[in-house]
Chains A and B, each alone.
Chain A
């Protein structure tokens, strides 16, 4: 029967209508992953038993597939009486999975700030809070903006995993069409191309942003 381009185009509006869900999942998961990742990094820096525990947890997360994490949360949480929507489980799963990677971003971002910055702030008589807010944080944000952006793209590319839990994001919509029409190739290809386009556009935007952010630091 071949690949029907007209049919493929006719699936475009339905699949595109779920782009908001995809971007929402990616954005919320990215914020969640950043929050957990920052917590991990702070705990790791403080050392002690908790520091080692977090270090092991990060290693564990990084050595296991995101799909299995989603299954785990989806099937295990209800067993303990925690009933969450598939969307919530998916967002928690992605946040947890990527927090291990983002903690490394925070680590690199903080490590890259020269020691002299903190020393100079202290020499100027800034308090600890002022130093963190006005000296360390802005420089850390500049260091982590680009890698964070790259992980946002990674998270975006992981959102179709949520289709496995029947969350109505773009791949889920594509599968809905496929099971109604018994034609899989066209809707799936359309979904794939939209994701590819999104990923490329956002990556380019991040590259530009990176150039602008790093310009003041080059001499």
Chain B
């Protein structure tokens, strides 16, 4: 099997990798925004509930979350496609990390920003939407870009729940042709080709907005 065949084979899985990433973002972005802001604004028992939901998605091992939801949702009568479950689990996991970046960004703002808004007679939601959030999101943008990379990498897990992404295709090819060395090295390279430009973009943005405090790390 030639190198080109291997590359074309892995490329056939790119569509699923890209789709899971995109659908995952559809879950991650609203979750990160809503729960980050909620954790920033709430106090007392409400904050406890918000924190518990964030920690469930953020502190669980994502590979187990994926299996649990893939196998347990049908048991309680909820039938979703593997694609939907994967996008939801991977998206909400990354969304949990993103929410911490949103909250940290909001907390890092100078108090004077909020006070100036109040002095101008703006309502609390207006201050949040027009003054606090835009600044917080810009400050934390390098972190968000890092988290997109984490999401792309995490999509390799969907090969374990029968979706034919790049990893699944590579495994398939290597089972047909017993030649794992070029196949798996190509797979590594394929992820690098997808993720490295995003990392470079992140560095460019970071050099513009200044270093953000790294919060997530991990997977």
Contacts and interface: CB of A to CB of B under 8 A. Distances in A.
B167 A65 contact: yes
Interface in A162-176: 163-164, 171
B64 interface: yes
B192 A60 contact: yes
B191 A188 contact: no
Contact of B71 (A1, A158, A184): A184
B129 interface: no
Interface residues of B, number: 41
A61 B53 CA distance: 31
Interface string A44-75: 00000000000000011011111111011001
Give chain A's interface secondary structure class.
Answer: helix
A134 B154 CA distance: 42
Contacts of B114: none
A127 B167 CA distance: 52
A156 B196 CA distance: 26
A151 B195 CA distance: 21
A63 B107 CA distance: 30
B65 interface: yes
Contacts of B174: 75
Interface of A: 1-3, 59-60, 62-69, 71-72, 75-76, 79, 101, 147, 150-151, 153-154, 156-161, 163-164, 171, 178, 184-185, 188-189, 191-192, 195-196, 199-200, 203
Given A2-B75, A157-B219, 16 more contacts: A59-B196, A65-B154, A65-B167, A71-B171, A71-B184, A76-B181, A153-B59, A154-B219, A158-B61, A160-B63, A171-B67, A184-B67, A185-B68, A192-B60, A192-B67, A196-B60
